[in-house]
Structure 1
Amino acid sequence: MRTRVAIIGAGPAGLLLAQLLDAAGIDSVLVEQRSAEYVKSRIRAGILESGSVQLLREAGVGDRIERAGFEHRGIHLQWPGERHHLDFVDLAGKSVWVYGQTEVTKDLMATRERAGQLSFYEATDVELHDVDSDSPAVTFTDADGRAQRIEAAIVAGCDGSHGPSRHFVPERHRRTWERTYPFAWLGILADVAPSTDELIYAWHPDGFALHSMRSDAVSRFYLQVEPDEDLTAWSDDRIWDALATRFALDGWTLTTGAITDRSVLPMRSMVTSPMRHGRLFLAGDAAHTVPPTGAKGLNLAIADVALLARAIVTWLADGDTRLADAYSDIALRRVWRCTHFSWWMTTMLHRHGDDFDARLQLAQLQRVVQSDSAATELADNYAGIPIEGLS
């Protein structure tokens, strides 16, 4: 079969790219190795930058965010005995939205199904061919065991850090930078109303903790643990005791409830360059990953796709390749800015090193809450810098 754009990966990046292209009259085919149900159920990030929300609205998938999401003006920073609120709207003129990546994925999948665009789930043996030519192709075996070949003008690799796409950028052209952090997050979902109005980022001698939420009745929590942590060693009581200790504050109480999901999330940064080779373009986790402390992963993917969609449309519809030629350089500038911010938030808030390091972390946290310029720098990055190339 033939299509204008073959998209590998049906996560938020691939689905949003397909939606933006469809709105511009450019057809695409989605190829995903997982089942549709698996993709819908993946629990990932929960914070959307103001620019991401605006883009989703423009793409026609913002209605449910307005109804079910939570607009937050900022976050709370805490260390033992103190909790301080940073108001992003006052500091940087931007808010953020709490709306889970799972919900974004469901919205985009429903929109694609209504549009009647072709998608293949549970594809195996996915291979890319001739991406450095004018006639790239994707081959795979579909869920019914039939061999498929898609010929396209452009291939978009939106298949995450473990997908095949980025490996089709030849090693002689590809460079990858990585940082593995010496800790992980134990994340839980709990059927309990949030105990806070906005997210709490807590530094504690026992380790970092984060209080987030998914709805009025479901909360999301994270605890800093070892990368090789044994989940079976963490009973419900132990989890709630650790959270209560790390969030302890006079006059405030942590509400507990039934834990419905738990997992350990490794912490690492990875950036691959370039994000384009021939007619293959990478977006989202296929090109970069960040630790979740700065809430950048999903938002970076959305920014990539916004830029990539514009580049593809101007190329295929107008014959103008300038934005496509500049895509990798422009996208990577934002990627490295957000990678730095994620590293900064991670190293400031997670307990590591010795007591000297702990005092440095506390000094940095105190600086952020006492200095308008330092607080504004955090707020501006967290709530989202503009997407270069779209103005």
Structure 2
Amino acid sequence: MRTQVAIVGAGPAGLMLAHLLRLRGVDAVVLERRSRDYVERRVRAGVLEHPTVELLREAGVAGRLDREGMPHHGISLRFDGADHRVALTDLTGKSITVYGQQEVVKDLIATRVGAGEPLLFEVSEVTVDPATPLVTFTDAEGTPQRLECDFVAGCDGSHGVCAAEVRGTVQAHDYPFAWLGVLAQAPPSHSELIYAYHERGFALHSMRTPEITRLYLQVAPDERIEDWPDTRIWDELGRRLAADGFTLATGPILEKGVTAMRSLVTEPMRQDRLFLAGDAAHIVPPTGAKGMNLAIADVWALSEALDAYYRVGRTDLLETYSDRCLRRVWRAEHFSWWMTSMLHQAPDADDFQRKLQLAQLRYVATSEAAATSLAENYVGLPFQR
């Protein structure tokens, strides 16, 4: 097999890169070890930044997003028993859109399959040679394959094969807590996202559709999901999200799980002709809603660089790809760390630290400058075109 760009991983990063390259006339083959059904069903992030939505529209894959997505013009910081709204659109002129990551993936898969472009699911034994470059794998029928290419895009996550091929520096930070997340068949209890600071720990109220709510609780990193029956989850959410005039809507819990929180950045984000994007290169705690949006920003920059290479022979954008992406990555890492530190209860926190957190929250709630800084980062910084 021969192609111009081999893309390992059919998450939002790999699929969006393949689509952007197709629009620019660059051939690509996408490889994914999971089945199509698994990829389309796995629940991940659900907040799309303004630049992400704009890019999906420019790329012609936002039809269902525009029909079913839920635009939000603010978020609530809940503390001291009340909501303190950060008016995103009033402060920045931009908004966010709630639309599940798996829905973005479904849209991109449908577009690629509909165009008859190569997208291979259930491959195994994938190996990558960054220098040649060459990708070998076994296809779904059990036949060994060799995929020769000009470049490899590693979009297969932090546990994939591509990240291990980069001889760089990995900066990592583990947080002393995790999130217990649930997907519930219940209407949202509030029109916007609620970030709740509480003495028992952080809680987040989000949503996926007008009928499905996504909720999170701060728990210990070693928490066992078996110790959290549905009644305990709803009771704890009710305590942490309590506020005057607020009623928490409940319903059957469809999914639940515990996710550890960590930060990770690989520098550089490339090795020879292998370029990393998304979780293969960096991970952020979910508090700032940056994970999928960073992945989309990465592949936009990579598609631009590959387009310049094939169209006019330019190599400078490929050579500076890592540096350009890492500026945005570290900004997002800092914002996510800041939001996490401000809202969560550390296991060893004393009264001094808790009063510092409340002082910061009250400052954001009462200072237009502080609220604007949060809003600007939350809605997403513009792509450097």
- Verify same fold: TM over 0.5: yes
Q: Please tell me the residue identity of whatever aligns with 1:323.
A: L
Structure 1 gaps, min length 5: none
Q: Given that residues 82 and 244 in structure 2 are in contact (C-alpha distance below 8 angstroms), is that contact kept between their aligned partners in structure 1?
A: no
Within 5 Å, give how 1:73-92 maps onto structure 2: 73-92=73-92
CA distance in 2, matches of 1:58, 1:136: 31
Q: Sequence identity of aligned pairs in percent? A: 57
CA distance in 2, matches of 1:48, 1:163: 24
Report the equivalent of 2:309. 315
Is 1:377 aligned to residue 376 of structure 2?
no
Cα RMSD (Å): 0.8
CA distance in 2, matches of 1:330, 1:17: 17
1:284-325 alpha-carbon deviations (Å, 9 max, x no partner)? 000000000000000000000111000011102221111111
1:230-250 alpha-carbon deviations (Å, 9 max, x no partner)? 111111111111011011112
CA distance in 1, matches of 2:142, 2:229: 42
Q: How far apart are residue 380 of structure 1 and its match?
A: 0.2
Is 1:18 aligned to residue 12 of structure 2?
no
Is 1:33 aligned to residue 33 of structure 2?
yes
Report the equivalent of 2:163. 166
Q: Given that residues 80 and 248 in structure 1 are in contact (C-alpha distance below 8 angstroms), is that contact kept between their aligned partners in structure 2?
A: no
CA distance in 2, matches of 1:250, 1:56: 39
CA distance in 2, matches of 1:123, 1:356: 53
TM, length-normalised to structure 2 = 0.98
- Provide runs of 4+ in structure 1 moved above 3 Å: none
Structure 2 gaps, min length 5: none
Q: How far apart are residue 122 of structure 1 and its match?
A: 1.3
Within 5 Å, give how 1:91-102 maps onto structure 2: 91-102=91-102
CA distance in 1, matches of 2:250, 2:272: 53
* Residue in structure 1 matching 2:240, options 237, 246, 257: 246
Q: How far apart are residue 79 of structure 1 and its match?
A: 1.1
Q: How far apart are residue 48 of structure 1 and its match?
A: 0.3
Secondary structure of the 1:178 match is strand
TM, length-normalised to structure 1 = 0.97
CA distance in 1, matches of 2:127, 2:166: 13
Within 5 Å, give how 1:55-74 maps onto structure 2: 55-74=55-74
Bigger drift between 54-63 and 7-16 goes to 54-63
Q: Please tell me the residue identity of whatever aligns with 1:157.
A: G
Report the equivalent of 1:366. 362
Secondary structure of the 2:184 match is strand
Within 5 Å, give how 1:190-229 maps onto structure 2: 190-229=184-223
Report the equivalent of 2:322. 328
CA distance in 2, matches of 1:279, 1:369: 47
Q: Given that residues 186 and 252 in structure 2 are in contact (C-alpha distance below 8 angstroms), is that contact kept between their aligned partners in structure 1?
A: yes
Is 1:256 aligned to residue 253 of structure 2?
no
Q: How far apart are residue 277 of structure 1 and its match?
A: 1.6
CA distance in 2, matches of 1:169, 1:198: 40
Report the equivalent of 1:351. 345
1:4-27 alpha-carbon deviations (Å, 9 max, x no partner)? 100000000000000000011111
CA distance in 1, matches of 2:241, 2:266: 37
How many residue pairs end up in the alignment?
A: 383
CA distance in 2, matches of 1:270, 1:349: 20
